[in-house]
C-alpha cells in the first residue's frame, strides 16, 4: 500500500515546479532580448530617420553649402588683379557644383562640373567686364569691386540653387539649359541679389567694427 504524500512534501514539490516555471520564463526573456528577431521588434527600427526629416536636413545642408561658397565668391571679388579673380570664381563654382552633386548622390567629374557651370552661366550676366574694369585708370578699385561682389555672389547663389532644383525635379545634368528653366532662373537671380546685398552689408558692418 502506497504511503500518502505528506502535505509538506506537496508544498515543496509545488514550489519547485513554480520555481522551474519562473526560471524558464526568465530564460525565454533573456533569449528574446539577445535575439530581437524572435521576439519584439528592435528599437533601432524606430530610430531610423523619417523621409521628411532627411529632406529637411538635406535642404539645410544645401543652404549652408551655397552660403559658404557665396562668401568665398565675395572674397574672390576683392582680388585686385583681373583674370586672377575670374579664375578664382570658376574654381569656387566648380567646387560647389561637385559638392552639390555629392549631396544629391549624382557623380560629377571636374570636367563635367566645368561644363555645367558654363551652361548655367550662359544666361546670367557675366562679371568679366567688371573684372577687367579694375585696370581702367580713374575708375577706382572700390568703384568696381562693390558692384562686382554683388554680381559674383548672385551668380554663385543662382548656379547652386538652379542645379539643386534640377536634381530635386529628377532631371539629369545633361538636360540643363532648357527653356523651361528661364522662370526658375529669374526668380533665383532675384533671390541671389537679395542675398548678395545682405552679404555685402554683413561684410561692411564687420569691417567697420574691426577698423
Give 1-29 pLDDT, tens digit per residue.
555 545 545 444 545 554 445 444 454 44
Asked if residue 170 has pLDDT above 70, the reply is: yes
Cell of 134: 579694375
Q: How confident is the model at residue 36 (pLDDT cuts 50, 70, 90)?
A: very low
Of the candidates 122, 127, 129, which has an alpha carbon nearest to the alpha carbon of residue 182?
122
Q: CA geometry: angle at 68 spanning 155 and 62, to 5°?
A: 85
pLDDT in tens, 108-165: 888 999 988 888 887 777 767 777 777 776 666 778 888 888 899 999 999 999 899 8
- Cell 527653356, residue located: 179
Asked if residue 49 has pLDDT above 70, the reply is: no
Q: How confident is the model at residue 178 (pLDDT cuts 50, 70, 90)?
A: low
CB 112 within 8 A of CB 98: no
Cell of 5: 504524500
pLDDT in tens, 66-112: 999 999 999 999 998 888 999 999 999 999 999 999 999 988 888 99
Q: How far is 65 from 62, CA to CA, in rounded Å?
A: 5
pLDDT at 51: 59
pLDDT at 48: 56
Q: How far is 126 from 112, CA to CA, in rounded Å?
A: 20
CB 162 within 8 A of CB 188: yes
Of the candidates 184, 183, 161, 186, which has an alpha carbon nearest to the alpha carbon of residue 104?
161
pLDDT at 87: 92
pLDDT at 204: 72
Amino acid at each position: 500500500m502506497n504511503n500518502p504524500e505528506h502535505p509538506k512534501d506537496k508544498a515543496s514539490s509545488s514550489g519547485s515546479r513554480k520555481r522551474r516555471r519562473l526560471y524558464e520564463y526568465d530564460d525565454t526573456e533573456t533569449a528574446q532580448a539577445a535575439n530581437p528577431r524572435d521576439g519584439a521588434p528592435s528599437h533601432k527600427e524606430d530610430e531610423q530617420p523619417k523621409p521628411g526629416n532627411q529632406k529637411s536636413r538635406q535642404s539645410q545642408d544645401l543652404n549652408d553649402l551655397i552660403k559658404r561658397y557665396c562668401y568665398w565668391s565675395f572674397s574672390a571679388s576683392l582680388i585686385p588683379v583681373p583674370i586672377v579673380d575670374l579664375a578664382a570664381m570658376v574654381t569656387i563654382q566648380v567646387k560647389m557644383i561637385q559638392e552639390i552633386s555629392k549631396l544629391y548622390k549624382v557623380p560629377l567629374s571636374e570636367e563635367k562640373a566645368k561644363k555645367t557651370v558654363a551652361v548655367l552661366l550662359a544666361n546670367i550676366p557675366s562679371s568679366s567686364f567688371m573684372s577687367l574694369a579694375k585696370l581702367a585708370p580713374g575708375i577706382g578699385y572700390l568703384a568696381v569691386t562693390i558692384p562686382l561682389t554683388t554680381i559674383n555672389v548672385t551668380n554663385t547663389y543662382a548656379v547652386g540653387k538652379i542645379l539643386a532644383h534640377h536634381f530635386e525635379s529628377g532631371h539629369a545634368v545633361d538636360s540643363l539649359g532648357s527653356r523651361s528653366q528661364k522662370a526658375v532662373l529669374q526668380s533665383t537671380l532675384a533671390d541671389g541679389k537679395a542675398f548678395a546685398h545682405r552679404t555685402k552689408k554683413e561684410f561692411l558692418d564687420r569691417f567697420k567694427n574691426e577698423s
